[in-house]
Structures are given as structure tokens and as C-alpha cells.
Amino acid sequence: MMPHVVIEADRYSLRPPHEDDVETLAPGCADPRARPFPPDTPSPCTRADLLDWVRLTPVVWERGGVRLVVADSTTGEVVGAVALGPPDDARNAEISLWITPSARGRGAGTAAVRALTSWAFGNDALPVRVERIELMATPSDAASQKIAYAAGYRRESLRRRAARHPDGSRTDLVAFARLADDPESPVPPFLPPFPGGALSDGVIRLVPLTPADADDYHAMMCLPDVMRYRVPATPVEHADSLARCVSAASHWISGERAEIAIRDGADDSFAGHIQLMNIIPILGEAMIGYSLAAGTRGRGTVTRAVNLLVDWTFAHTTIQRITAGTDPDNVRSQRVLERAGFTREGVLRHHLPRADGTRADNVLWARIRTAP
């Protein structure tokens, strides 16, 4: 029999679920876009699935797992569910979380994961001692990934097609983990979000790339002059463009790269793409790359975008040096870099693959933090 566990989590309390909680959790559980659902239930789940989840809580406890609901400490309102699966033979367990749509953005998820993780590592009441806890999130689930970092988890890998959607398709999973002796303090993001969600100079706006940009992004990547200088020099499938847009938030949160849509400041139309990539924190270095959509050339759009992104990077990260590379024939791109304050530094011979199978030199450029 599971003891009456109550874990305090800031403004919330984690307690064993009751059958009455099903009525609160059921409406949001039917949302097919949410993952995970109330932990360890089918996706999407039904009221009957939720009842089974509640009734089997003591059985899960006997196997070393925990199932709890997240409730407001003041009002008692149930705002979600959190669970720790039974540990395996190596004492590894997986934590999962679900917050009701109306309660998201209040910090309940972070508080619940942090509290249950610390409790599990430091509690001898569990039948099996836990030494490692994993958290999985789909690449598009930015909220869960932010929660993982805020709860002291570290990103470890990308598990390709490790999860299955209800329609039978498969998706990748981003794997996070925390060890028993890891600090519980938040892992600070290397790339902070744009202030207010965007950068603007009044003429253009830079906003994070999203799945809604996939069609425009793909059309741009298929333009002959974009394809000509693309690395790798291979055709782009729409599925690849969509995957890039879907995973953009995950890459940003992890500090791997920032994928950004350039939008017209007047009508908010898609004008291009710019990215900060090849980020090497220990060297304080990153690389910039960009492409323009059809009908947006000759307006200084890319120069504006480069200046906005570089200025933000130097102001809000520890990066000291931003580089760029250009094909010797791509004079237009070289002019952009010159106007944006980059200095030509050298040439890597025979460095860039071209679509026709030949190779080109790579003209190297850089702008450093101390430069005007």
C-alpha cells in the first residue's frame, strides 16, 4: 500500500491521485497535441484510462514508482500530474509530467519536476533507491525542455524516432538526465530568448523559426541561387525543411544554434532566414549564415538582419567572435558582410562542395566584439 506522500513544491503540493481528480484532468487529456498526457496513459487517453492510472498507483509504488497529482497549495485546484516510473536494474527511472492547458506558464511544471526529483534522490521510503532520473521530450516540446533545464537536468542526446504518435508515425526524443549527485540548481541557457520575443530595427523583425514557417522556408531553400551556395550541396526535401523548423526551438534552448526567420516589419511576411550556428562556448565563437526569400533582394534586408543578430549576440552571450564563410563567386554575400562590419581573414582552399560535384574555396570573414 502506498503511503500518503505529500511533497511541497513552491506554491504547489504533490499528492497521491484520487478518483475525483479524473474529472479535472479528463478535458485536457483529450487534447491530441499534448505530450506527455497524464503520465503512463495512452495518447490520447480517455476517462477510463485515467481511472486506471489512479487505481494502479499502489501497484506502481510497490514496483518502486510514484504517481502524484499537482495541486495548488492554497486552493487545492488540481493542475496536472507527475510520475516517476519504476527504476530498472541499474536504478535508472524516468520522470514524466503533464500540466492542464489552463495552468501552463505558472511554473507548476518546473516546481513539480524539481521537487519530485529531489525527493526521489533523497528518500529512503522508495522500495528501490534511484540513482539516475531521465526526462524525455519531443523536439517540438519546448516547454518540457525548458522545465528540464530549470530543474537541473542536462541534455544528453537525441534519440531518433524513439516515440510513436497515435497515428502510427514516429518522432525523435530529446533525452535529459539528472544524477543523484548533480546540483539541483537550474542549468542556465547559453542562448537567452530575444527580449520580447523579437529583434527589430523598425524595417525588419527577427523572430524564432517555427513549424508555421516550413512552407516559406522550403520554397526559399529551393531557389536556384540559394541551392547553388548551399552546404551540403544536396536537394532539400520538404520533410527536411519541416524537421528543421520543428526542431528549431529545441536547438535554441540547448544552445546548439539559433534558427531565425527574417520578417518584413510592415506586413510581417517571411523575408528570409538567418542562423547562429557552430557555437563553441569554450572558444567564445560562433558562425552566422543567411538566405533570402524570393522578391526580397536589393533592400538591405540581410545586412540589417546580420547587424541585429550580431549586436544581440555580443550583448547577451559570452561569444567574442562571429565568423562567416562565402563561396568566392558569391559576391553579393561578401558585400553584405563588409557592410555589416566583418573583416576578410583568409581563404580555405578547396573547402566547399558544390552541387555539380566540384569544390570551391571558402573565403573566411569575422567580426569580433571589440570591433565597431
Residues 22 and 136 in one domain: yes
| pLDDT at 112 (0 to 100) | 96
Residue 136: inside a domain: yes
Residues 145 and 231 in one domain: no
Residue 289: inside a domain: yes
Residue 148: inside a domain: yes
Residues 175 and 201 in one domain: no
Domain that holds residue 151: 7-179
Model confidence pLDDT, tens digit, residues 104-117 = 889 999 999 999 99
Residue 230: inside a domain: yes
CA 209 to chain centre: 11
Residue 184: inside a domain: no
Residues 284 and 200 in one domain: yes
CA gap 126, 115 in Å, rounded: 15
Residues 122 and 246 in one domain: no
CA gap 191, 250 in Å, rounded: 11
The 10 Å Cβ neighbour count of residue 342 is 23
Residue 335, pLDDT > 70, answer yes
Q: 276 - beta bridge partners?
A: 258, 288
Residue 271: inside a domain: yes
* Closest alpha carbon to 100 in 131, 71, 76, 74: 71
State which of 120, 148, 179 marks the end of a domain. 179
Residues 65 and 166 in one domain: yes
DSSP conformational letter for 272: E
Residue 187: inside a domain: no
Residue 31, pLDDT > 70, answer no
Residues 263 and 307 in one domain: yes
Residues 202 and 166 in one domain: no
Domain count within the chain: 2
Residues 341 and 298 in one domain: yes
| pLDDT at 165 (0 to 100) | 73
State which of 151, 179, 207 marks the end of a domain. 179
Please report which confidence band the pLDDT of residue 308 belongs to, taking 50, 70 and 90 as the band edges.
Answer: very high
Residues 82 and 111 in one domain: yes
CA gap 255, 244 in Å, rounded: 15
Q: Is 353 exposed, middle or buried (0-12, 13-18, 19+ CB in 10 A)?
A: middle
Q: What are phi and psi of 92, to 5 degrees?
A: -100, 135
* Closest alpha carbon to 47 in 33, 26, 31: 26
pTM of the predicted model over 0.95: no
Amino acid at 351: H
Is 270:207 a contact under the CB 8 Å cutoff?
A: no
Report the CATH number at residue 265. Answer: 3.40.630.30
Residue 35, pLDDT > 60, answer no
| pLDDT at 178 (0 to 100) | 97
| pLDDT at 342 (0 to 100) | 97
CA gap 50, 42 in Å, rounded: 9
Please report which confidence band the pLDDT of residue 310 belongs to, taking 50, 70 and 90 as the band edges.
Answer: very high
Model confidence pLDDT, tens digit, residues 61-105 = 888 899 999 999 999 999 999 999 999 999 999 999 988 888 888
DSSP conformational letter for 189: -
Residues 175 and 199 in one domain: no
Residues 153 and 270 in one domain: no
Residue 186: inside a domain: no
CA gap 372, 340 in Å, rounded: 10
